[in-house]
Amino acid sequence: MAAASFCRLKLISLSPNSPLLHHHHHHHHHSRRCRNFGFNYFNRYKVRSPSNIRLRVNCQTTANVESGSEVSNSDLQLAVAAGKDRLLKVPTSNIRNFCIIAHIDHGKSTLADKLLQMTGTVESREMKEQFLDNMDLERERGITIKLQAARMRFMYEKEPYCLNLIDTPGHVDFSYEVSRSLAACEGALLVVDASQGVEAQTLANVYLALEHNLEIIPVLNKIDLPGAEPNRVSQEIEEVIGLDCSNVIYCSAKEGIGINEILNAIVRKIPPPPDTTGRPLRALIFDSYYDAYRGVIVYFRAIDGTIKKGDRILFMASGKDYFADEIGVLSPSQLQVDELRAGEVGYLSASIKSVADARVGDTITHYTRRADQSLPGYKEATPMVFCGLFPVDADQFPELRDALEKLQLNDSALKFEPETSSAMGFGFRCGFLGLLHMEIVQERLEREYNLTLITTAPSVVYRVNIINGDTIECSNPSLLPEPGKRSSIEEPFVKIEMLTPKDYIGPLMELAQDRRGEFKEMKYITENRASIIYELPLAEMVGDFFDQLKSRSKGYASMEYSFIGYRESELIKLDILINGDCVEPLATIVHKDKAYAVGRALTQKLKELIPRQMFKVPIQACIGSKVIASESLSAIRKDVLAKCYGGDITRKKKLLRKQAEGKKRMKAIGKVDVPQEAFMAVLKLEKEVL
């Protein structure tokens, strides 16, 4: 994360007589200095500089200090002292580890915030940002990408309890991360919007939680809304999930209703972690991120044994060993401790250079006293979707490589290798977990690294069986072996479950059918809502499937998908020729029954998207050497140009500026300028044509 316009410090505790409170107006310097103190109370939270940071003063008063203000060493010592109050050790039987399962927008972040406030972990903030969602992109999209954790202290029947909240990402692309964070907990809050109901994603995560034997506490959120129907929704939870809702908690995270009941239920219902402190160390990594100043910070849950500061540790899957230079808890800012025991949740840093060496799901053990077996459930990240990324300006190639390397330090699921194409020049073929992951990476490359990129249409990974008996993987349509060399092609299939009000069953089944879906099952989960299950090729979901699902159901349907394996399909490669040149990045792999329709639709779409040139440009779709569809872009007539340039000066300027902007995302293919949109055209074909 190299975003220059953001600094990352916030929320440190200070004593009320801290000189900072008197002098903060006088000392200004760049925030980088603060990081150089080498202290760790500066957390990952970002504050839009130059906005203010808020300082806690003994958990009560607050003061605003301009971000980047001088913070002295002694202030930081005091901060530690204040923080230590909250570190009081509790017996294992007083620990509770839990997560929150909720559909997007049902109020997970708002509730997490309230739990932190009610337990005095953070004070009520007027800041807009919510604690558990940090990245800007996340906030803008209203989704949670990375996991976080927070430790809270809560008094129950006069005894102190330590409650660890582990956050989970809310998108299917990250279901592996979800499963790892569930594995770090003994219980989960199931938060359902009382004015909506159970959604597909919630359901999928509840099943995951049940597989991990988590105690599930149902919570109906947003009961303050006039449209809330707590009775209907709790009945739905009982029917759909089979969860007893007689003691369901009514909550309004926004108004702070029901928060105490939730905290009490966590203590009463969720079992404490088993006390296995005597066993060899096993700790589960549920998140890790790269910090430019300290290396990788690993978030873990100790399952067995004890980990101490300075211990030599081994990561069982990666085989790498390190010294745990620093361990600590997340309260939610990082506070150092000397040891963490079975059942506890915390972080460590050990001069690890890349998150790939401390992957989510890996098991940490001691180098000398090793555990026999690693914890179950570890999986390598397998990218499912690939695309080509090319700098518009060829000079930016080295910058693009640097940027990808930097992103990869923090994202072990991101894969890339150089790709050269006669049409596009030098770039990279990149692999992603899914479409959302792809969009996030593209956006970060452009936003944080100031790159202007041309992205080619995403492709899945095909398995091509070669005549000689070999099988090769192909994620780049232009590299598909010739028909004469291959015996068959297999493509990845997914199972999707759509939940929808009954009015939209028809349009959604039609959608799945259009996408080569095979109907599996439909059932009414309540009187008005149905679950529809299909199996279909992943390639048919890449693109606008989700948008279509939303628009055809007026936003009411939700979906969830999982990979089910490879199946043989009758696939062929469709090439696109522009002005007689084959444009590799426009090549696409399609089912043979759809080839003609796609060819026609694609040439028409390209004709719309490619600006007219000074000469006539033929656009053709071909299978092998056979042209199956053809369009032609007529030349710009001289007088049209003359008219444009003959106008008054402001108009001329405007036109030039517009051209300059347009130019940013053009790639010259032969003599023809092809805009970015053209490379994505295959995803935007009119439905009627297909």
Ligand X SMILES: Nc1nc2c(ncn2[C@@H]2O[C@H](COP(=O)(O)OP(=O)(O)OP(=O)(O)O)[C@@H](O)[C@H]2O)c(=O)[nH]1
Contact pick of 90, 127, 137, 225 for ligand X (by CB under 6 A)? 225
Answer yes or no: are the C-beta atoms of 68 and 7 closer than 8 Å.
Answer: yes
Q: Where are the alpha helices (DSSP H) in 380-493?
A: 397-409, 435-449
Interface with ligand X (CB under 6 A), residue total 20
Q: Which stretch binds ligand X (CB under 6 A): 54-62, 70-78, 216-224, 385-393?
A: 216-224
357 is in an annotated binding site: no
Q: Which residue, 222 or 605, has its beta carbon nearer to ligand X? A: 222
Answer yes or no: are the C-beta atoms of 624 and 603 closer than 8 Å.
Answer: no
Q: Return phi, psi of residue 681, to 5°.
A: -55, -35
Q: Is the dihedral of CA 299, 303, 306, 310 positive or negative?
A: negative
580 is in an annotated binding site: no
118 lies in the site for ligand X, by CB under 6 A = no
Task: Identify residue 380 by its one-letter amino acid code.
Answer: E
Locus of tokens 């997970």? 108
Other CB atoms within 10 A of residue 312 CB: 12
Q: Which residue, 142 or 662, has its beta carbon nearer to ligand X? A: 142
Q: Which residue, 225 or 683, has its beta carbon nearer to ligand X? A: 225
Q: Hey, which residues between 231 and 290 contact ligand X (CB under 6 A)? A: 252-254
Task: Retrieve residue 456's tokens.
Answer: 């080619």
Q: Are β-strands 462-466 and 459-460 bridged in parallel, bridged antiparallel, or unpaired?
A: unpaired
222 is in an annotated binding site: yes
Cβ at position 217, least distance to ligand X in Å:
16
Task: Identify residue 307 by its one-letter amino acid code.
Answer: I
167 is in an annotated binding site: yes
Q: What is the rounded CA–CA span in Å between residue 361 and residue 610?
A: 46
Cβ at position 188, least distance to ligand X in Å:
14
Contact pick of 56, 108, 341, 486 for ligand X (by CB under 6 A)? 108
Q: Which stretch binds ligand X (CB under 6 A): 29-37, 210-218, 220-228, 580-588?
A: 220-228
Cβ at position 209, least distance to ligand X in Å:
16
514 is in an annotated binding site: no
486 lies in the site for ligand X, by CB under 6 A = no
Contact pick of 67, 69, 97, 110 for ligand X (by CB under 6 A)? 110
Q: Which residue, 225 or 337, has its beta carbon nearer to ligand X? A: 225
Locus of tokens 């745990």? 324
Q: Which of 192, 189, 104, 235 is nearest to 527 (CA)?
A: 235
Q: Which residue, 232 or 591, has its beta carbon nearer to ligand X? A: 232
Q: Which residue, 219 or 538, has its beta carbon nearer to ligand X? A: 219
Q: What does the per-residue mask of binding to ligand X show for 134-173, with x meaning CB under 6 A?
A: --------xxx-------------------------x---
Q: What does the per-residue mask of binding to ligand X show for 48-87, with x meaning CB under 6 A?
A: ----------------------------------------
Q: Which residues pair with 289 in a beta bridge?
A: 297
Which value, to the nearest 10 degrees, does the dihedral of the CA atoms of residues 108, 114, 119, 122 take?
A: 100
Q: What is the rounded CA–CA span in Å between residue 547 and residue 568?
A: 27
341 lies in the site for ligand X, by CB under 6 A = no
Q: Which residue, 138 or 540, has its beta carbon nearer to ligand X? A: 138
Q: What is the rounded CA–CA span in Å between residue 121 and residue 591?
A: 56
Q: What is the rounded CA–CA span in Å between residue 311 and residue 327?
A: 10
User: Using alpha carbons only, what angle is made at residue 634 by residues 629 and 640, rounded to the nearest 5 degrees?
Assistant: 160
102 is in an annotated binding site: yes
Contact pick of 222, 406, 415, 444 for ligand X (by CB under 6 A)? 222
Q: Which residue, 54 or 222, has its beta carbon nearer to ligand X? A: 222
Sheet-wide strand order for 95-102: 149-156, 159-166, 95-102, 187-193, 215-221, 249-250
104 lies in the site for ligand X, by CB under 6 A = yes
Q: What is the rounded CA–CA span in Å between residue 279 and residue 229?
A: 49
107 lies in the site for ligand X, by CB under 6 A = yes
503 is in an annotated binding site: no
113 is in an annotated binding site: no
Q: What is the rounded CA–CA span in Å between residue 649 and residue 653?
A: 6
224 lies in the site for ligand X, by CB under 6 A = yes
Q: Hey, which residues between 542 and 571 contact ligand X (CB under 6 A)? A: none
221 lies in the site for ligand X, by CB under 6 A = yes
Q: What is the rounded CA–CA span in Å between residue 387 and residue 416?
A: 10
Q: Which residues are annotated as a binding site for GTP?
A: 102-109, 167-171, 221-224
Site for ligand X, rule CB under 6 A: 102, 104-110, 133, 142-144, 170, 221-222, 224-225, 252-254
